[in-house]
Amino acid sequence: MSWEPILARPRARTRLTALLACLSLAATACGSAKAGTAVPNGDEAAAYVSAKFADKLKSLAGQFNGNAARKSVQDTFARFDSRKINSTITAIQLGDPPARLSKNHSNLDSNEYLDSYHPANSPVEYLLLGPVYASLAPTHWVSTPYTAGDLNECYWSGAQDVCKMLQAVSDSIDGGKVDGGKAAKSANSLPGGAVELTAEVTLSAFLDNRVIVFPDSISSQFDASMKSRPLQTKITLDADGKLTDLKMSGRIDGDGHQLEINIHYRLDGVPTDNDLPKVPAASEVTALTDSAAVSDFYARMGELQGR
């Protein structure tokens, strides 16, 4: 989705998961701590939580390595001064090998959307163009050769952002890359055996993992002070350790500028075949059959989005 001026118009429960469920910053110790010993406060507590949960947090992206049926929604809002993006991605993965559908729609302009669809085993991937992109092809649909092969979900538009967010969290926890290894702040049990982890991820880690790719006109204005500021992150796991909800948000001021970020990914029920579109007829599709045609198409798309 393009940047717009604000006024202007894509297992069984593990032992560690069980440990997560019994910990919070204010809780009495469990796991390796002695019974009756309070979990330390402040910086010591943050280091304690980070040490306990580092492996679990780093492994979450591994949940996107298979073909598990998944239906998700991700809302993304970002604002830098008067420029903003606001979009929703709904995504479906179903079957083995999977069919994958992602619908990336702007919440600022109902005419700006891109839906990508790869039917299971199809040699091509289809892209449905919203009216904003109608000039790119004579038909509503275009097709491109499918080149992802056996790459996992994290290379698919329906899961790219959540994988990037998880990597930003992992970088923050792993080896003290962020905040001296104290980025994880708490782990709290929820009804039904679910667990909520909270962490702080710096804007620097967020940018390094390209969770949102800002245009140079914006990214060049992030100073060192802004990059060191944290985004608040909440990760919810169900009783089996499965990621069900991830929120990353914050407002950062610096050098006369204001940046606001709010991203919310969550599972949205169980997908069925009815969630997938029909394969468009050949007469409805402009086929881009070689790399030169594909490159030209995306270059022209980039020009539209850059406007």
Question: What predicted TM-score, i.e. pTM, was given to this entire model?
Answer: 0.81
Q: If you average pLDDT over residues 49-55, what whole number do you get?
A: 63
**Cβ–Cβ < 8 Å for 72, 246:** no
pLDDT-derived band at 184 (thresholds 50, 70, 90) equals low
Pairwise CA distance, residues 53 & 235, whole Å? 12
Instruction: Check pLDDT > 50 for residue 249.
Output: yes
Instruction: Check pLDDT > 90 for residue 50.
Output: no
Which has the closest alpha carbon to 125: 292, 285, 1? 285
First to last CA, the chain: 11
Pairwise CA distance, residues 262 & 99, whole Å? 29
User: Which of 4-18, 61-75, 147-161, 243-257 has the lowest average pLDDT?
Assistant: 4-18
**Residues forming beta bridges with residue 247, ordered by sequence position:** 234, 264
Instruction: Check pLDDT > 80 for residue 47.
Output: no
Q: Which pLDDT value is given to residue 3? A: 61
Give the mean pLDDT of the chain: 81
Q: If you average pLDDT over residues 201-217, what whole number do you get?
A: 92
pLDDT: is 237 or 105 the higher one? 105
Instruction: Check pLDDT > 90 for residue 143.
Output: yes
pLDDT digits (tens, 9 = 90+) for 261-285: 999 999 999 999 999 999 999 999 9
